A and B are shown apart, each in its own frame.
Chain A
Amino acid sequence: MSESTAPIARPPAPTREHYLNVKYGIKSWLLTVDHKRIAILYLISITAFFFIGGAAAVLIRLDLATPAGDLVSSETYNKLFTIHGIIMVFFFLIPSIPAVLGNFLVPIMIGAKDLAFPKLNLLSWYLYMIGGSFTLWAMIAGGVDTGWTFYAPYSTTYANTHVIATALGIFVTGFSSILTGLNFMVTIHMMRAPGMTWLKMPLFIWAQYATSIIMILGTPVLAITIVLIAIERLLGVGIFDPALGGDPVLFQHLFWFYSHPAVYIMILPSMGVISEVISAFCRRAVFGYKFIAFSSLAIALLGFLVWGHHMFVSSQSPYAGMVFSLLSFLIAVPSAIKVFNWTATLYKASISYQTPILYAFGFIGLFTIGGLTGLFLATLAIDVHVHDTYFVVAHFHYIMVGGAIMGFLGGLHYWWPKMVGKLYPEAWARFSALVIFVGFNLTFFPQFLLGYLGMPRRYHVYDPEFQVLHVLSSAGASILGIGYLIPMVYFLWSLRYGKDAGPNPWDAKGLEWTIPSPPTTFNFEEPVTVGDVYDYPTEDETPPWKQGSSEGAHV
Chain B
Amino acid sequence: MSEIGEHHGALAHHFEDLEQQRQSADLGMWIFLATEIMFFGALFAAYAVCRWMNPAGFSTGTSLLDVPLGTVNTAVLIGSSLTMVWAVQAGHRGDSRSIIRNLVGTLLLGSVFLVIKALEYSHKFHDGLVPGSLFTYGGEQAAGVEMFLCFYFVMTGLHALHMVIGFGLLVWLILLARRGRFTKEYSNPVEGVGLYWHFVDIVWIFLFPMLYLLEH
Contacts and interface: CB of A to CB of B under 8 A. Distances in A.
- Indicate, yes or no, whether A interacts with B: yes
B4 interface: no
Interface in A180-237: 182-183, 185-186, 189-191, 216-221, 223-225, 227-228, 231, 234-237
Interface centre among A115, A183, A190 (most CB of B within 10 A): A190
Interface in A104-159: 107, 112-118
Contacts of B40: 224
Given A189-B27, A190-B23, A217-B35, A239 B53 contact: no
Interface residues of A, number: 42
B42 interface: yes
Counting chain B residues whose Cβ lies within 8 A of the other chain, the interface size class is 35 or more
A186 B31 contact: yes
A225 B49 contact: no
Interface residues of B: mostly helix, strand, loop or mixed? helix
A191 B24 contact: yes
A260 to B, nearest CB: 14
Main secondary structure of the interface of A (DSSP, over half): helix
A113 B21 CA distance: 13
A140 B36 CA distance: 33
B24 A218 contact: no
Contacts of A183: 28
Contacts of A522: 13-14
A239 B42 contact: no
B14 A220 contact: no
B64 to A, nearest CB: 16
Interface string B1-20: 00000000000111100001
B150 A239 contact: yes
Interface in B79-116: none
Given A220-B36, A235-B150, A237-B131, A117 B144 contact: no
Contact of A225 (B13, B24, B42, B147): B42
Interface stretch (A59-67, A240-248, A295-303): A240-248
Contacts of B132: 234-237
A216 B39 contact: no
A238 interface: yes
Nearest to B144: A245
B191 interface: no
B147 A218 contact: no
B72 interface: no
Contact of A116 (B24, B32, B42): B24
A247 B51 CA distance: 11
B150 A114 contact: no
A150 to B, nearest CB: 15
A530 interface: no
A457 B72 CA distance: 55
Contacts of A246: 50, 53, 147
A114 B42 CA distance: 33
Contacts of A217: 34-35, 38
B43 interface: yes
> Which 9 pairs show the lowest CB-CB distances between chains A and B?
A220-B39, A235-B132, A113-B14, A114-B14, A220-B38, A237-B150, A221-B42, A190-B24, A224-B42
Interface of A: 107, 112-118, 178, 182-183, 185-186, 189-191, 216-221, 223-225, 227-228, 231, 234-239, 244-247, 250, 254, 257, 522
Interface of B: 12-15, 20, 23-24, 27-28, 31-32, 34-36, 38-43, 45-46, 49-50, 53-54, 57, 131-132, 143-144, 146-147, 150, 154, 158
15 contacts: A107-B14, A112-B14, A116-B24, A182-B35, A217-B34, A219-B35, A220-B38, A221-B39, A228-B43, A235-B132, A239-B46, A239-B50, A244-B147, A254-B45, A254-B46
Given A113-B13, A185-B31, A191-B14, 12 more contacts: A115-B14, A117-B28, A178-B35, A183-B28, A191-B24, A220-B35, A225-B42, A236-B132, A239-B150, A244-B147, A245-B57, A250-B46
